[in-house]
């Protein structure tokens, strides 16, 4: 009775060899990494959403893109939508001032703006996906690490039982049941990683879709603003001869 009551995680840990202890350390490290990524990226996601909502509210309430530029200059850029807007405004001003001075600036202003916006979108997507590969790796491999520990424990338990010459059920079930602890630990490490990965992936997908839609609107506004300025310049130039003719 006392031998049966002594079975459990403590007894399994005390009787385990170096391989099992190393696997437990690996699973502990994997669990710590996955929880760190879930917590830190979750907090960053909430802060990013709050700041993005604040910037979008100011953007759509602004009277002009110059007002948006002043807001970015005063408060800086700390979220994806402001980052995209700041780079786009800078690209437009740079192309108007210097034109296609370098190969990366070749083409019309709209083509240069399109390339700049695509580059910023790629940078933001890469930043959002940073760390998700590790979460996916932990979720996919942790059960197999635990299963390997179970197989290793069952193997040594059966070898020990065979050498003792006792095949009674209580002698077999105890060590084999203890070996299954490793599978349970592996699943306990993998489940939070998989759930965190799915949550963060969906959140990033929603943010990327909103950023793509905003990029289209921003490119339209920048193109329209340039066309309106060009149209005003042409109207002024065309109106000068008629005034001279009247005189």
Q: H helices of 76-180, where? A: 80-98, 109-129, 132-164, 169-179
> Which pLDDT value is given to residue 12?
64
Write the burial class of residue 149 (CB in 10 Å: 0-12 exposed, 13-18 middle, 19+ buried): buried
When pLDDT is averaged across residues 222-246 and rounded to a whole number, the result is 44
When pLDDT is averaged across residues 186-214 and rounded to a whole number, the result is 93
* Mean confidence (pLDDT) of the chain: 79
When pLDDT is averaged across residues 124-128 and rounded to a whole number, the result is 89
pTM of the model: 0.75
What is d(CA 208, CA 132) in angstroms, rounded to the nearest whole number? 15
Asked if residue 4 has pLDDT above 60, the reply is: no
> Which pLDDT value is given to residue 171?
60
- Our measurement of the distance from residue 235's CA atom to the centroid of its chain's CA atoms, rounded to an integer in Å, reads 49
What is d(CA 71, CA 67) in angstroms, rounded to the nearest whole number? 6
How long, in residues, is the chain? 247
CA torsion sign for 155, 173, 164, 14 is positive
For the chain, give the percent of residues with pLDDT over 90. 36
Mapped onto helix, strand or coil, the DSSP state of residue 159 is: helix
User: From residue 169, how far is each of 130, 161, 172, 179 by CA, in Å?
Assistant: 50, 11, 5, 15
Query: Which one, of 178, 147, 187, 198, lies nearest residue 31 by Cα?
Result: 187
CB atoms within 10 A of CB 196: 21
When pLDDT is averaged across residues 189-211 and rounded to a whole number, the result is 94
Query: Which one, of 143, 139, 141, 135, lies nearest residue 204 by Cα?
Result: 135
Query: Which one, of 133, 130, 132, 184, lies nearest residue 12 by Cα?
Result: 184
> Which pLDDT value is given to residue 158?
75
When pLDDT is averaged across residues 33-53 and rounded to a whole number, the result is 93
> Which pLDDT value is given to residue 3?
47
- Render pLDDT for 131-179 as a digit per residue (tens, 0 to 9): 899 999 999 999 999 999 888 888 777 776 777 666 565 566 666 777 7
- The per-residue DSSP string of 65-88 comes to HHHHHHHHHHH---SHHHHHHHHH
Locate the domains of the chain by residue range: 88-229
Asked if residue 9 has pLDDT above 90, the reply is: no
> Which pLDDT value is given to residue 43?
94
* Banded pLDDT at 39 (limits 50, 70, 90): very high
């Amino acid at each position: 009775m006392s031998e049966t009551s002594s079975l459990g995680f403590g007894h399994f840990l005390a009787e385990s060899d170096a391989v099992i202890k190393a696997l437990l350390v690996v699973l502990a490290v994997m669990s710590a990494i996955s929880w760190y990524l879930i917590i830190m990226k979750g907090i960053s996601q909430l802060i990013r959403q709050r700041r993005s909502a604040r910037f979008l509210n100011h953007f759509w309430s602004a009277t002009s893109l110059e007002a948006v530029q002043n807001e970015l200059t005063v408060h800086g850029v700390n979220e994806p939508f402001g980052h995209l807007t700041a780079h786009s405004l800078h690209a437009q001003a740079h192309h108007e001032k210097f034109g296609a001075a370098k190969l990366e600036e070749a083409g019309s202003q709209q083509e240069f703006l399109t390339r700049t916006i695509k580059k910023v979108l790629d940078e933001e997507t890469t930043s959002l996906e940073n760390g998700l590969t590790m979460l996916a790796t932990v979720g996919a491999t942790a059960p197999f690490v635990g299963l390997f520990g179970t197989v290793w424990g069952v193997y040594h338990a059966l070898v020990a039982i065979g050498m003792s010459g006792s095949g009674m059920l209580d002698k077999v079930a105890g060590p084999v049941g203890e070996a299954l602890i490793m599978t349970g630990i592996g699943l306990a490490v993998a489940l939070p990683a998989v759930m965190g990965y799915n949550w963060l992936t969906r959140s990033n997908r929603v943010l990327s879709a909103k950023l793509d839609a905003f990029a289209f609107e921003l490119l339209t506004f920048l193109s329209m603003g340039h066309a309106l300025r060009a149209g005003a310049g042409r109207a002024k130039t065309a109106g000068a001869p008629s005034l001279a003719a009247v005189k």
